[in-house]
Structure 1
C-alpha cells in the first residue's frame, strides 16, 4: 500500500519531482519554458499536492541510466594525490585571483591587505576530504567561490567588517568539506556559488538532452 502523499517527506518528494521533470525535458516531452516554470515551483513550494501536480501529466519516469548519470554528475568526491599540505597566498595593495583547474592543498592561508583577492574553487581538484581556508582580510574586498556540490562551514569573525554568504547547496556526507575561518578587519568577504541550484538542474537537463541527441 502506497504511503499517503501528505505523509511523505517533503524533500524526498521534491527530489523525485525534479528528477522526473529533468527526465521528461531531456527526452523532449516538455518545452524549456514549461520545464523552468515547473522547476521554479518545485524548488519553492512546500505543499505536497502542489509538487505532485507538476508531474502528474508526465509519462516518463526515472530509469537506472538516469540515476547513474545523475550520481556521476552531482557527486563531488576527493581523489587522494600528491598535493602540498599547506599553501599561502599574500595579497598587499594588489589584485590576486586563484582559479581554474588546480589542486587544493589541505590548508590554504590567505592574507589580504588593501587589495582584492578571489579564490575560485569551482574547477579545483580536491585531494583531501577536508580543506581549510584561513583568512586574514584587512581593508580588502575578497571573494571565495565554492562548488555547489561540496559542504561549506563558515567560521569567520568581523571587526568593523562584513562576511556575506550566499549558499543554497545541501549537505552531503560523502562530499569534500571546505572550512572557511579567520577574521575580517575593516574588510568585506563574500562566500558564494557561481551557479544557483536551479541553474545546476538546468545544466544537467541540457547535458542529458545533448547525450540523447
Structure 2
C-alpha cells in the first residue's frame, strides 16, 4: 500500500489483490495456515490502503514493489477497473500442468496453478478434480478436454467465468447447468470438451474460501449494524417514554 495516501478507501479489487499475495505466500510456505487466516480476515475487513499495507509488507511481493518504486497500492488502484482483477490472472505463457490421468485412482489440480490453453485428462474407474477458483490462465480462452470411462471428472470454476460445454456422453453425460452465466469483463472463457462413457463430467461454480470468508464477514457486519440500529431505536423509545413521564408529572403538579 502507499504511504502517500494511506487514508484512501480501498476497493474490493484492492482487497482481492492482497488476498492473492497472501495465498501465494501460503503456497510457498512463507505463512502458516493460522497466520494466513488472520491476515486474510484482516484484508477483507480493511477499509483503507493504510490498513492493507502491513499485511504484505514482509512478503517478497511487497519488498519487490518497494524496491522498484511501484507501490502495491498504486498497482491496485490502476487495476481497480472493470476486468482489472481478471487481467492479473491471464498470464500467458505455458501452463504449469497440461494433463492428468486417473486409472482406478484419482487426481487433483487445485490451488494456485496456471491452466494451459488446452488441458487433457483421462479417468478410468477413477475420478479427478480440476479446480480453477484460484488458478491463473495462459489465455483468455482455455479448453478442458475430459475423457471419463466408468469414472468421473469434476470441473470447478469461480463466479464470473464463462463456461461452454461441448462434450459427448454415451450412457454418461456432461453437466450443462453452468452454461449461459454472463461473463465478467476480462474474465476467461472455459470450454469443456471430451467424451464420457458410463461416466460423467460435472461442472460446478463455487466461491473460494477467501470469498466465502469475505461474505461471512459482510453478513456479520450487517448483523452488527442491525443490532446497533435496534439498540438506538430502543434507547430513543425509552427516552421518549421518560420524557413523557416527566411531562405528565409536571402537568400534575401544575394542576395542583
Taking structure 2 as the reference length, the TM-score comes to 0.47
1:192 aligns with 2:204: yes
Give the secondary structure class of the aligned counterpart of 2:218.
Answer: helix
1:87 aligns with 2:98: yes
1:173: Cα distance to partner?
Answer: 5.5
Q: Which residue of 2 aligns with 1:120?
A: 131
Q: Which residue of 2 aligns with 1:151?
A: 162
Alignment of 1:33-72 (within 5 A): 71=82
Structure 1 residues 86 and 117: alpha-carbon distance in aligned structure 2, compared to 1, 3 A threshold: closer
1:205: Cα distance to partner?
Answer: 7.9
Q: Which is bigger in relative contact order (C-alpha 8 A, separation at least 6)?
A: 1
Structure 1 residue ranges, 4+ long, deviating more than 6 angstroms after superposition: none
Note the residue ranges of structure 1 that are not aligned, 5 or more in a row.
1-25, 27-67
Alignment of 1:166-177 (within 5 A): 166-167=177-178, 169-172=181-184, 174-177=186-189
Distance 2:153 2:202 in 1: 6
Q: Which residue of 1 aligns with 2:110?
A: 99
1:174: Cα distance to partner?
Answer: 2.8
Structure 1 residues 82 and 158: alpha-carbon distance in aligned structure 2, compared to 1, 3 A threshold: same
Distance 1:188 1:179 in 2: 16
Distance 2:98 2:151 in 1: 20
Distance 2:189 2:159 in 1: 11
**Residue by residue, what CA displacement relative to the aligned partner does 1:144-175 show, whole Å, maximum 9, x if unpaired?**
10111211111011000022244273224532
Structure 1 residues 84 and 164: alpha-carbon distance in aligned structure 2, compared to 1, 3 A threshold: closer
Distance 1:87 1:113 in 2: 18
Q: How many residues align?
A: 141
Give the secondary structure class of the aligned counterpart of 1:108.
Answer: strand
Structure 1 residues 105 and 72: alpha-carbon distance in aligned structure 2, compared to 1, 3 A threshold: closer
Distance 2:217 2:137 in 1: 25
Q: Which residue of 2 aligns with 1:17?
A: none
Note the residue ranges of structure 2 that are not aligned, 5 or more in a row.
1-44, 46-78, 223-256
- Of the two, which has the highest radius of gyration? 2
Give the secondary structure class of the aligned counterpart of 1:101.
Answer: coil
Give the secondary structure class of the aligned counterpart of 2:98.
Answer: strand
Q: Which residue of 1 aligns with 2:143?
A: 132
Taking structure 1 as the reference length, the TM-score comes to 0.55
Match of 1:182 among 194, 211, 226: 194
Give the secondary structure class of the aligned counterpart of 1:76.
Answer: helix
Is this contact kept in 2: 1:86–1:107, CA < 8 A? no
1:72: Cα distance to partner?
Answer: 6.9
- More strand as a share of residues: 1
